[in-house]
Structure 1
Amino acid sequence: MMRLYLFAEGQTEQTFADTLIKPYLAQREVFMHYPRLIAHARKKGKVHRGGGRNYAPMRNDILRSLNEDSNRDVFFTTMIDLYAIHPDFPGLAEAESLRQNPIERVEFLEQRFAEDINDYRFIPYIQLHEYEAYLFADPTCFEYLDASRTKEIEALQAIANQYETPELINDGQQTSLSKRIIAQFPDYEKAKPVFGTQLAERIGLQVIRSRCPHFNAWLSRLESLNNYRNNSAETV
């Protein structure tokens, strides 16, 4: 049996991880604690969490948790966005040359993140480019919000069809995944933590994995943590 702590960027990731990932991993004897929002600031001794845009508080939050639970049967991971990633994130300037290859870019940043934390129990995951990539795995899920809005759903499907994977949909300020959804379904913006998970549930974890290879690689690593712990411990 392995234990897992997950640091989520926002409430949407927090709810998604608790609702879909946690029970899935439990079936594989990987037991996730309730996902916690990652720190974005620390003022007067109080940690402020969620939607962080500063790297130092995130880093300190992770390091503090690693120190608080130093057991070898526990791992730590993240769900943070590549979109609008923190300017002081390790390796960000170096990764600029990889901008035309988002998968290589995000893998490079994850590697630098892991190196900076420097603990084999830490498994960084950065979403390409943000949570809504999972919803573009099957845009027909938006029938749940309003089945009569076929033109809006078709517009989202047309966007998804342009890309090999929704993880490659670009991350411009006006063309990010969430902005594209809000343009068709404005109500999504006000209730993202609720709708985001409900829509993902309609799609299903296996479909999301089949359409989002970077997400799938991360989840595959988590579900194999029992083997990973043994292999990693041998190299420490």
Structure 2
Amino acid sequence: MIRLGISVEGATEREFILQVLAPHLARYGVFASPVDMRGNVSRDRIRGALPHLIASFDHVSTLYDYYRFKQRETLSVDALQATMLELVAPAQRRHFTPYIQLHEFEALLFAVPELTVQTLGGTERQLHALRAAVEACGSPEAVNDRPETSPSHRLLALFGRDYEKPFHGPEVLRIAGLPAIRAQCPRFDAWVTRLENLGGRA
């Protein structure tokens, strides 16, 4: 049994772990618990939080948005993720799997546009807009060409008050199931695979 702590930046990611990811990982002998950072994520805040987390769990990972990450400067998402390993002592690095979602958690909803629109009671026009965003950007994980058109901003612009971020994000992914999301989101899929491998059994 592996006790996995996943540091998250807010309620949406916390509910996703509780409702979707933790039940899945339990099949592999990995028991995941979200640890809420409650606010903006930066390397300074992470540096302060990691020692306690690593002391409290067998393994620690993260689920942060690249879009909202403070102090990211000009680093790419992969380079920023790599620098997070440097925030812990060398002896602790084997207990740490950093992960940053490109560009936002809400990008995962673009992997299943039909279900997203159905869950939100949307229209064919809104479905076309979600599909067009993915086509223009190349993949769900690439949806974020400007701050005002990040995944969450697009959803709010399309659905307005019908979209409740902490509820609908995890709910859509719960209904869709991880295989449907992983098939469209290779970075996310690779992260889940690494967490599965911590337990080593199905």
TM norm structure 2: 0.90
Aligned to 1:66: 54
**Max radius of gyration: which structure?**
1
Aligned residues of 1:52 and 1:58 also touching (Cα < 8 A): no
Query: C-alpha offsets along residues 54-94 of structure 1, whole Å, 9 cap, x if unaligned?
Result: 4322321121222345xxxx10011101003112x5xx44x
1:3 partner SS = strand
* Distance (Å, rounded) in 1 between the aligned partners of 2:128 and 2:44: 42
CA shift at 1:170, angstroms? 2.1
Among the aligned pairs, what percent are the same residue? 34
C-alpha distance in structure 2 between counterparts of 1:188 and 1:59, whole Å: 37
> What is the CA–CA distance in structure 2 between the aligned matches of 1:201 and 1:29, rounded to whole Å?
20
User: What's the CA shift string for 1:209-228, capped at 9, x where partnerless?
Assistant: 0111000010000000145x
Could you tell me which residue of structure 2 aligns to residue 83 of structure 1? 67
Unpaired runs of 5+ residues, structure 1, are 39-49, 96-104, 228-236
Give structure 2 stretches of 5+ with no counterpart.
Answer: none
CA–CA separation in structure 2 for the residues paired with 1:125 and 1:146: 32
Q: Could you say which residue in structure 1 is the equivalent of 2:9?
A: 9
| Residue 180 (structure 2) pairs with residue 207 (structure 1) | yes
1:129 to 100, 103, 124: 103
Matched residue count: 196
Q: 1:146 to 1:214 in 2, by over 3 A?
A: same
**Higher helix proportion, which one?**
2
Q: Kindly indicate whether the alpha-carbon contact (under 8 Å) linking 1:2 and 1:225 is maintained by their aligned counterparts in 2.
A: yes
Does residue 25 of the first structure (1) align with residue 9 of the second (2)? no
Which amino acid is the alignment partner of residue 82 of structure 1? Y
Task: Report the RMSD for the aligned CA atoms in angstroms.
Answer: 1.7
Secondary structure, aligned partner of 2:59: strand
| Deviation readout 1:7-33 (Å, 9 max, x if unpaired) | 111100000011111010000111113
- CA change 1:75–1:217 in 2 (3 A) is same
Structure 2 residue identity aligned to 1:134 = L
Query: After alignment, is 18-27 or 59-68 more displaced?
Result: 59-68
**Structure of greater relative contact order (alpha carbons < 8 Å, 6+ residues apart):** 2
| Over 6 Å off, 4+ runs | none
Query: Could you tell me how far apart the structure 2 residues matched to 1:144 and 1:68 are?
Result: 37
